[in-house]
């Protein structure tokens, strides 16, 4: 998990064991450049040289006023011995100097070159705010750089920070040396500050912190190279809570194919037609979904797609009777264990069957109730209208026929940033990504299909089958809202297609049925 670098308070040095218990791995020490060009250290030197203070530290250069080249030169000469301090933080063999306000430098590019020459070959410059992208790295300044909407004209809404954390825009511009060093920042509040914010509290802060750590882990890779800046110690000390135990390791890829579920079928599958891959857990919704679709296809005199349905084994015969009664000319029903929601049967049973038959494209559906959402039924209806009507099938068929490179089509409003609720899924993702040949940094620049319903070419998703995940590797069903292996795989389906060179598109149309994702009670920013 990403290391936490915390601003060192100027009034006291927290005990070493207390800092470690709060997850702190290092301190950020503020130094101020005075008008004379001399440095003022906001921390007593004795603290940094204390024999019992073994946590590394790094320096943050604060520039309250614009600097001249002469002031920068004088300050850099004073900083250089500190960068050589044995306890100074090293990052990938470099010694970073944090510059809070790069806009105050005399000339960003010229000043950075001058500073690096003065500080030595191992020095690196990390800048606060967006200008950090023009240096060796950047770190966030939440109160300055993130929009925080006022509430009642007075209090600021702490949820605005959480909304940013879930809908993080991954930097597209690389830093000067191409390393793309990005340090997320979290802002805990002391008691006095808390009165200035609405919706602030320990739960919100911990969610923000978990999001930042998960994002940093994927962006930089797990280990010491992933950092998160904690803006102040007092608030962190009172709100921090140790992380929960890590997700159990997934089983390695099996040499033998995973056993198939029990299946029954009727009629002749037509491999030239698209395939409907449906997980039918709720029989009433399955009845409505496929009954309305077949009726519409018959009314429009359209070809009927091939039908593959997974359902809990105890419901297999009932599903077969239901679909035969609706008049489906052919179908295959696979009985599965109630694990992994719709994702495990799709990856382990339905998608391999569609690949083996050679269907030109598929539609992945499931009976979505989403009872934990206030608009759960509207959400399911939106996905159905986008994918499972006669009109939708005709439109999707034209899209795949006219665009040979099109690999996946998502319903309108469902392509969302990979950072949403990342903290719940990071552990599973970190285990799955190497097996798919995907880097965490690359994944963070992609989107995923919320709701796990879409149209796709089977071959675009073939790597998911090659994972050969055992069914007992999926968590038992306990009404989990997020954080399971199935949720992690949901985030990888569009990415897998893109990684294989396929294009991913989102359908146009109304997004009124799409719920707000991310932080549960943070409204989108204007």
What are the CA-CA distances from residue 434 to residues 132, 258, 431, 439 (Å)?
A: 30, 21, 7, 7
Question: Is residue 316 a contact partner of residue 262, using CB atoms and an 8 Å limit?
Answer: yes
HEC letters along 163-212: HHHHCCCCCCCCCCCCCCEEECEECCCCHHHHCCEECCCHHHHHHHHHHH
Tokens of 281: 């857990």
pLDDT at 177: 44
pLDDT given at position 9: 92
Collect the ranges in the chain with pLDDT lower than 50. 172-179, 252-257, 371-374, 521-522, 525-526
**Phi and psi for 335 in degrees, rounded to 5?**
-85, 130
Instruction: Report the top-level CATH class of 269-506.
Output: alpha beta
Instruction: Write down the domain spans for the chain.
Output: 3-233, 269-506
pLDDT value of position 305 = 97
Identify the helix (H) or strand (E) that includes residue 128.
strand 123-128
Q: What are the b/e assignments for 489-499, b being 16+ CB within 10 Å?
A: bbbbbbbbbbb
DSSP class of residue 405 equals: T
User: What pLDDT was estimated at residue 466?
Assistant: 92
Distance CA 337, CA 315 (A): 11
Please report, for residues 2, 3, 58, 229, the alpha-carbon distance to residue 223 in angstroms, rounded to integers and kept in the order given.
7, 8, 18, 15
CB atoms within 10 A of CB 422: 25
CATH 1.10.10 describes domain 3-233: no
The tokens describing 487, both together, are 């949720």
Contact 368, 383 (CB under 8 A): yes
Q: In what order do the strands lie in the sheet with 503-506?
A: 262-266, 331-336, 306-312, 275-279, 362-366, 454-456, 406-410, 503-506
Cβ atoms of residues 29 and 245 within 8 Å:
no
């Amino acid at each position: 998990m990403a290391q936490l670098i915390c601003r060192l308070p100027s009034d006291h040095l927290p005990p070493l064991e207390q800092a470690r218990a709060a997850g702190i791995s290092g301190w950020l020490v503020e130094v101020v450049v005075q008008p004379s060009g001399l440095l003022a250290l906001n921390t007593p030197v004795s603290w940094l040289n204390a024999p019992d203070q073994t946590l590394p530290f790094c320096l943050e250069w604060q520039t309250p006023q614009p600097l001249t080249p002469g002031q920068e030169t004088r300050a850099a000469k004073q900083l250089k011995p500190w960068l050589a301090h044995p306890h100074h933080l090293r990052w990938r063999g470099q010694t970073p100097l944090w510059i809070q306000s790069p806009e105050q430098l005399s000339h960003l590019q010229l000043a950075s070159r001058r500073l690096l020459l003065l500080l030595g070959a191992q020095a690196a410059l990390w800048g606060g705010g967006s200008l950090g992208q023009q240096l060796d790295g950047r770190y966030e300044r939440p109160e300055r750089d993130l929009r925080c909407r006022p509430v009642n004209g007075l209090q600021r809404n702490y949820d605005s920070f959480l909304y940013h954390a879930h809908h993080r825009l991954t930097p597209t511009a690389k830093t000067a040396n191409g390393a793309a060093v990005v340090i997320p920042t979290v802002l805990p509040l002391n008691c006095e500050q808390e009165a200035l914010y609405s919706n602030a509290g320990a739960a919100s802060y911990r969610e923000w912190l978990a999001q930042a750590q998960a994002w940093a882990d994927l962006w930089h890779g797990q280990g010491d190279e992933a950092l998160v800046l904690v803006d102040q110690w007092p608030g962190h000390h009172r709100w921090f809570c140790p992380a929960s135990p890590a997700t159990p390791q997934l089983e390695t890829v099996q040499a033998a194919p995973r056993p198939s579920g029990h299946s029954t079928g009727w009629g002749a599958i037509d491999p030239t037609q698209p395939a409907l891959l449906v997980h039918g857990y709720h029989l009433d919704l399955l009845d409505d979904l496929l009954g309305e679709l077949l009726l519409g296809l018959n009314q429009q005199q359209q070809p009927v797609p091939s039908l593959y349905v997974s359902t809990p084994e105890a419901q297999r015969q009932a599903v077969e009777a239901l679909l035969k009664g609706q008049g489906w000319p052919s179908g295959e029903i696979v009985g599965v264990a109630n694990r992994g929601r719709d994702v495990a049967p799709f990856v382990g049973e339905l998608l391999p069957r569609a690949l083996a038959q050679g269907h030109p494209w598929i539609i992945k559906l499931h009976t979505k109730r989403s009872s934990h959402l206030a608009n759960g039924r509207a959400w399911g209806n939106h996905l159905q209208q986008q994918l499972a009507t006669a009109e939708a099938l005709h439109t999707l068929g034209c899209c795949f026929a006219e665009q040979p490179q099109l690999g996946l089509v998502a319903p309108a409003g469902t392509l969302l940033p990979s950072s949403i609720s990342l903290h719940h899924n990071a552990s599973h993702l970190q285990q799955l990504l190497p097996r798919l040949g995907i880097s965490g940094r690359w994944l963070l620049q992609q989107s995923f299909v919320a709701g796990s319903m879409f149209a796709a070419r089977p071959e675009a998703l073939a790597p998911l089958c090659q994972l050969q995940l055992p069914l007992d590797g999926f968590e038992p069903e306990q009404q989990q809202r997020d954080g399971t292996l199935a949720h992690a795989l949901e985030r990888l389906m569009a990415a897998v297609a893109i990684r294989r060179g396929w294009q991913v598109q989102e359908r146009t149309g109304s997004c009124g049925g799409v719920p707000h994702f991310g932080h549960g009670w943070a409204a989108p920013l204007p």
